[in-house]
Structure 1
Amino acid sequence: MRREAQIDLIKAVAVFFVVNVHFLLNSGFYDVPLNSGIQYFWLFMRLFLITAVPLFIMVTGYLSHTKQLTAQQLKKIYPVIITYIIISLLDYGAQILILGHTTPLNDAIRGIFDFSTDSYAWYVEMYIPLFFMMPLFNIVWHRHENDVWFHRYIVILSVMIFFVPSLLNQAGKIVPDFFQAAYPVGYYFIGAYIHTYREKIRHIRWRIILPIFVMTSVLLGTINFFINDHHIFKWADYNDYFGYQVLVMSVLLMIMMLRIPDQWLRIPGLKLISNATLSIYLASDITDQILYPMLKHYLPAINDRLTYGSVTYIISFIFASLIGISVTLVVNAAFKRKR
């Protein structure tokens, strides 16, 4: 498969969004009532930042929907696991040497197995089973190779099962929502659909997609404003990963980034970051644990943190990238992997 600069861009944007959305988590944004302009600004920005994980999963479906169940394919999980273990151990080392924690080594090793040594490792816990199920999903996807209606049925069914309940059940359950937590399957199939019909999707004109994106952002931002105004941010199904808001924004963002011409994407370091997104994501737990206690110490007021402390996520991203890229280069050299 030809490497697409647009996919590199989507992955790079997604990992930057991850570090940004963790800024909200670690700065205390979710802990106080919203009553200032800077808080409303970040409430609006969250619409975009929360799309990071869905973008990653849709890219996985985009790139992997043709993979078959072979020993060679299954072996590709090894670098993921090794990367996870290395960064988890680095995380533990930082906790001991820099933060002065006294966690015993056996607890850290146990934490690798229960995905707690690195507090952002839940994504790895989700990805490993998804990886082994992907060949099975692909058999379903290619059951009727050129049948657009069959593919639409899969996507529509996924949307109905995983995402629509977050819209229809806000005032009480009226549709089944048992499988909402399996939302990665839905994003995977959406990514497969976008790749299968990418030529048609790439021909969607900017004068159509951009106004839709702007109007959707304004509409959803307004809804969130009225729900959260002068209240502590309300975590709910509609704004979670299986929420209708996150689904719509993620799909629109991915389609728009796929429309960007190649000549605009000759960005130094883009491929390097794209190849290291998992490592950067996991390594950001190390940098976040170091930086955010300092942020809270020097800027105790939440509005000051949101206004002036926002540079923290840029610093966290830079240092997480240095760690993540270094680990990725070592692991890739060890496995002699070539994309």
Structure 2
Amino acid sequence: MSKTRNPNLDVIRCLAVLLVIVIHFFLNTKFYDVTINSWQLEIMVGMRTICMICVPLFMCLTGYLMHEKELSWEFYHKLWPTLSVYLQSSALIYLARIGIFRERLSLADGVLGIFSYSTAPYAWYVEMYIGLYLLIPFLNMIWQGCQTRGQHQLLVATFVILCILPTFLNIFGKMIPDYWVTLYPLAYYFSGAYIHTYETEVTQIPLRLVTLMIVLLSVMHNLNASAGRIFQWLPMNDFGSSEIYALTIVIFVGILKARLPKTIGDIAKYIAPYTFAMYLVSYIGDQLIYPIFMNWFKTESAMLAWMAVPILLIFIGSLLLAIAQKLFWQLLRVCLDKFWQKYQVL
């Protein structure tokens, strides 16, 4: 019997890729180069704070969905679809970089860049995910070795203390070890596993007030750190920070427990299979649209007023590119299969 698809998980995927595109708005404009000295830029600081949950949502979702997987050759074989999308997207981005953006990249540069995750400039996540995927069966052995809720809580707390909490506590001087902070994806993975395992209890927690408090405190924290100077991109407000971790968890659980209209679920169900490719190929839209956007809208007020336009254009364009990419490779495979069958007959 096939499992019923949870539309809320599709919404999480779609929200995550949308927020990635929003985060890249700040990356591809002058936001990180200007002094935070106006209310428009302060609003952008708040938006940037909230949108940083984008990648952590994907990490948390991985733990939610994969924590019961076991070690087998079949499991490793299932990594291929992800690698295939990465290779296809890298090929498309390479063609765009040499054909549209006129970059001087040889074929060797493009091929070698696939292995160094530079042909597709947003592919750092792929490098992280491959390692995480290979670890999943062994992470799950640790998870399944914990027999009680208390043991699971202690496991999650251990990774949060080692990987997440130092980004906050060590602001005041080194108070706890921070050697393991780069392993923050594991904290999100086990948190996702915990949410799935104890979903009934977790979704009973009232989240509105908690979410509001986390958002306000995080935004105020970032405004205080960057007021009167350029935005301070620090461990305390990066993907593995305490504030982003807390916000990711409450948003993830909030969407999970929400009663969504069927229309939203249907739209998310259609878009969700393309989110990984959208994430990668959004680089093309960024490079096409933001130079034009920055030429037209040069002030902070104009950027804030019109920022939804490039974000929506890139989101829709990335979806269309992802669909076209999938159809192209499917058609190519059909043609090659027919050619091979004809060749065998001859």
In the TM superposition, what is the alpha-carbon distance from 1:286 to its structure 2 partner? 1.1
Partner amino acid, structure 1, of 2:186: V
| CA distance, structure 1, for counterparts of residue 324 and residue 81 of structure 2 | 14
**5+ long unaligned stretches in structure 1:** none
- Report if the CA contact (8 A) 1:283-1:323 is conserved: yes
Q: Please list the CA deviations of residues 272-306 of structure 1 after superposition, one character each: whole Å capped at 9, or x if unmatched.
A: 21111110100101111111112222223344223
Change (3 A) 1:328 1:202: farther
2:170 counterpart of 1:169: yes
- Report if the CA contact (8 A) 1:61-1:192 is conserved: yes
What's the counterpart of residue 233 of structure 1?
Answer: 231
Moved more, 184-193 or 298-307: 298-307
Question: Please, which of 115, 119, 127 is the counterpart of residue 117 of structure 2?
Answer: 115
What's the counterpart of residue 200 of structure 2?
Answer: 199
| CA distance, structure 2, for counterparts of residue 312 and residue 263 of structure 1 | 27
Q: Please list the CA deviations of residues 244-289 of structure 1 after superposition, one character each: whole Å capped at 9, or x if unmatched.
A: 0110110010011011125456444211211111101001011111
Question: Alignment identity in percent?
Answer: 33
Say what the alpha-carbon RMSD is for the aligned residues.
1.8
SS of alignment partner, residue 269 of structure 1: helix
| CA distance, structure 1, for counterparts of residue 130 and residue 117 of structure 2 | 12
Q: Please list the CA deviations of residues 317-338 of structure 1 after superposition, one character each: whole Å capped at 9, or x if unmatched.
A: 1101111233346668979xxx
Aligned length: 331
| CA distance, structure 1, for counterparts of residue 252 and residue 87 of structure 2 | 30
Q: Which runs of 4+ in 1 moved over 6 A?
A: 330-335
Asked which structure has the greater CA Rg, the reply is 2
SS of alignment partner, residue 169 of structure 1: helix
1:81-100 equivalences under 5 Å are: 81-100=83-102
1:61-80 equivalences under 5 Å are: 61-80=63-82
What's the counterpart of residue 23 of structure 2?
Answer: 21
Moved more, 258-267 or 51-60: 258-267
| CA distance, structure 2, for counterparts of residue 141 and residue 182 of structure 1 | 16
What's the counterpart of residue 214 of structure 1?
Answer: 212
- Report if the CA contact (8 A) 2:8-2:256 is conserved: yes
1:234-273 equivalences under 5 Å are: 234-263=232-261, 266-273=264-271
Partner amino acid, structure 2, of 1:102: R
- Report if the CA contact (8 A) 1:83-1:331 is conserved: no
What's the counterpart of residue 160 of structure 2?
Answer: 159
- Report if the CA contact (8 A) 1:28-1:302 is conserved: no
What's the counterpart of residue 320 of structure 2?
Answer: 322
SS of alignment partner, residue 276 of structure 1: helix
2:12 counterpart of 1:35: no
What's the counterpart of residue 7 of structure 2?
Answer: 5
| CA distance, structure 2, for counterparts of residue 216 and residue 165 of structure 1 | 18
Partner amino acid, structure 2, of 1:272: Y
In the TM superposition, what is the alpha-carbon distance from 1:196 to its structure 2 partner? 0.2
Change (3 A) 1:166 1:4: same
| CA distance, structure 2, for counterparts of residue 259 and residue 331 of structure 1 | 37
| CA distance, structure 1, for counterparts of residue 69 and residue 326 of structure 2 | 22
In the TM superposition, what is the alpha-carbon distance from 1:64 to its structure 2 partner? 0.3
- Report if the CA contact (8 A) 2:8-2:265 is conserved: no
| CA distance, structure 1, for counterparts of residue 260 and residue 29 of structure 2 | 36
| CA distance, structure 2, for counterparts of residue 133 and residue 117 of structure 1 | 25
Partner amino acid, structure 2, of 1:81: L
2:108 counterpart of 1:106: yes
Partner amino acid, structure 2, of 1:22: H
| CA distance, structure 2, for counterparts of residue 183 and residue 23 of structure 1 | 24
- Report if the CA contact (8 A) 1:55-1:254 is conserved: yes
In the TM superposition, what is the alpha-carbon distance from 1:42 to its structure 2 partner? 1.2
**5+ long unaligned stretches in structure 2:** 335-346
Q: Please list the CA deviations of residues 13-54 of structure 1 after superposition, one character each: whole Å capped at 9, or x if unmatched.
A: 001000001001111111101112221111111122100110
Moved more, 274-283 or 120-129: 274-283
TM-score, normalised relative to structure 1: 0.93
Change (3 A) 1:332 1:190: farther
SS of alignment partner, residue 142 of structure 1: helix
What's the counterpart of residue 342 of structure 2?
Answer: none
